[in-house]
Amino acid sequence: MATSDIGDIQVAERALQHHFADMEQQRDTASFGMWMFLLTEIMFFGGLFCAYLVYRASYYHAFVEGSQKMNITLGATNTAVLICSSLTMALGVRAAQMGKPKLMVILLLITIVFGFGFLGIKAVEYHEHWVNHEFPGPSFHFETGDPAHPATDPQHTEIYFSLYWAMTGLHALHMVIGIGLVAWLVIAGLMGAYTPHYYNPVENVGLYWHFVDLVWIYLFPMLYLISKKHGG
């Protein structure tokens, strides 16, 4: 017990960078830095949210028609997958805090699996939209699929799809980066890099992962659940 404590503190000391007074200052600083970074991420997505708000307010019906093409079952499943991944991530951070590196590695691996699950489902959806020409650009073509109610405003539905691809695409990119970061934690964790005295990277990647989840929590209702009825 005592020796492992000393070992822990030695790992921590090696991890203490020279310009900090102590581990606590380093930890608080790293965490604050990560929150600042997430703040910039919010503004980054914010530009897209702003475009979404403007066009949705202007072309409501076109947006409703576009959203009918979303597969709510897959979207909801993906939301659930992400929530599960957030749970395992949170538990993984907790394991790191409590000094259980093996448990942490296992939980992070599960998180990665969920992450790939999300991307897989997203890929299925993307494929469907792609073959239906629901991709903005010269080949874009939109039909409601209901002869009784032809598309009223396909031009502006294209803007809906532009935003759909841009927002979910940027989100998916963040997922890919997140998976990479978690994988790095797994490797470092296996090499014994983290102890209850030093686990900033785990905590910060955790924050990032939850943030990406958070963005999806908004994207899902904004893009999938605009309105099921009002076809046009």
Give residues 103-142 in contact with another protein (rule: CB under 8 A).
136-138
**CB of 41 closer than 8 Å to CB of 170:** no
Burial class of residue 94 (count of CB atoms within 10 Å of its CB; 0-12, 13-18, 19+):
middle
CB of residue 134 to another protein, shortest distance in Å: 12
| Contact by Cβ (8 Å): 97, 199 | yes
Bridge partners (DSSP) of residue 198 are 195
Q: Are 104 and 95 in contact (CB under 8 A)?
A: yes
User: How far is 124 from 42, CA to CA, in rounded Å?
Assistant: 27
Q: Could you give the 3-state DSSP secondary structure of residue 226?
A: coil
List binders of another protein among 69-98 (CB under 8 A). 72, 76, 79-80, 83-84, 86-87, 89-91, 94, 97-98
Q: Which of 142, 197, 201, 205 binds another protein (CB under 8 A)?
A: 197
Residue 144 CB, nearest distance to another protein (Å)? 17
**Is the CB of 190 or the CB of 225 nearer to another protein?**
225
Give the bridge partners for 195, in sequence order. Answer: 198
Which of 1, 6, 19, 148 binds another protein (CB under 8 A)? It is 19
Smallest distance, another protein to C-beta of residue 113, A: 16
Q: Which stretch binds another protein (CB under 8 A): 45-53, 122-130, 142-150, 181-189?
A: 45-53
Q: Please tell me whether residue 13 binds another protein under the rule CB under 8 A.
A: no
Binding window for another protein (CB under 8 A); candidates: 115-123, 141-149, 176-184, 190-198: 190-198
Structure tokens at 154: 């396909």
For residue 181, count other CB atoms closer than 10 A to its CB. Answer: 17
Q: Which stretch binds another protein (CB under 8 A): 110-118, 122-130, 181-189, 195-203?
A: 195-203
